[in-house]
């Protein structure tokens, strides 16, 4: 059996959210002497799993079930309230695309900026610029400031940079939901290259077909807990069953 590279041991995470929202100036003025009340929202509750070298683990669940929080804990962005994450190797997260961009800089300068943040050397970045621009399909706009990019162009550039900075473990959040069919095909091909070369991948997706096709095993999260774990087909089917009958029917009609 392959070695364990990430071990998630009974992690829990909650957030305090205000029970009364104050949005207008009047609400803030009249509420200044009244202590603000908060309620605790439990987002993750005793989540445990292992990630083995070279495998792709799929994570599925409805919106708000805790998937994004789990990824951020996994990548060290959030600290769990309880439990522990043990990581034996480097992790490259592709979560919130475009975080760290400077909109006043052009694409090439942002490649150096984000590439450095992701751990690439200046020499490695310099040697990868042409490939990154080509992968993102923005060669013509290399010297255009990012503030003039469309959201699709910026997303493609973010993925292209991240794919150059891959450590042993790659965390992907809805990787195949960005761009047109041609760009999705390139992302799928890049994924296959990384998987074939032995990279370990965590793949979050709402698309049952994606999990069935690209994952070795999967887990289903609901209300902050792992409801079931197993093969990708089993978990994808369980996810569809979790949805409303109307949503399930739409997946079937779409051939998901």
- The pLDDT, as a whole number, for residue 253 is 45
Residues 10-31: pLDDT tens digits? 999 999 876 656 566 665 565 5
Ranges of residues in the chain with a pLDDT under 50 are 248-249, 251-255
pLDDT of 254: 45
Quote the CA–CA distance of 238 and 96 in Å, as a whole number: 27
Tell me the Ramachandran region of residue 186: left when phi exceeds 0, alpha when psi lies from -120 to 50, beta otherwise: alpha
Q: Among 171, 167, 160, 137, which Cα is nearest to 67's?
A: 171
Task: For the chain, state the CA radius of gyration.
Answer: 20
Q: Count Cβ atoms below 10 Å from residue 198 Cβ, excluding itself.
A: 10
pLDDT of the residue at 252 = 45
pLDDT tens for residues 90-99? 888 776 555 6
How many CB atoms are closer than 10 A to CB 218? 26
């Amino acid at each position: 059996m392959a070695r364990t590279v990430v071990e998630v041991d009974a992690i829990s995470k909650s957030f305090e959210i205000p029970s009364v929202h104050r949005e207008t100036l009047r609400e803030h003025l009249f509420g200044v002497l009244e202590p603000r009340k908060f309620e605790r929202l439990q987002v993750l509750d005793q989540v445990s799993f292992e990630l083995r070298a070279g495998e792709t683990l799929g994570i599925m669940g409805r919106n708000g079930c805790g998937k994004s929080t789990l990824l951020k804990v996994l990548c060290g962005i959030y600290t769990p309230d309880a439990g522990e994450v043990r990581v034996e190797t480097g992790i490259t997260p592709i979560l919130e695309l475009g975080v760290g961009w400077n909109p006043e800089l052009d694409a090439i300068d942002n490649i150096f900026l984000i590439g450095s943040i992701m751990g690439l050397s200046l020499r490695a970045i310099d040697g990868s610029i042409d490939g990154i621009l080509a992968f993102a399909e923005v060669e013509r706009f290399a010297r255009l400031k990012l503030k003039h990019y469309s959201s699709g162009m910026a997303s493609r550039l973010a993925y292209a940079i991240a794919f150059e900075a891959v450590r042993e473990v790659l965390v992907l959040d809805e990787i195949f939901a960005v761009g047109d069919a041609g760009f999705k095909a390139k992302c799928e091909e890049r994924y296959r290259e990384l998987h074939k070369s032995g990279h370990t991948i965590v793949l979050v997706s709402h698309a049952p077909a994606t999990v069935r096709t690209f994952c070795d095993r999967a887990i289903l999260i609901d209300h902050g807990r792992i409801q079931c774990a197993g093969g990708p087909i089993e978990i994808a089917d369980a996810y569809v069953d979790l949805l409303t009958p109307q949503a399930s029917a739409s997946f079937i009609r779409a051939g998901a």
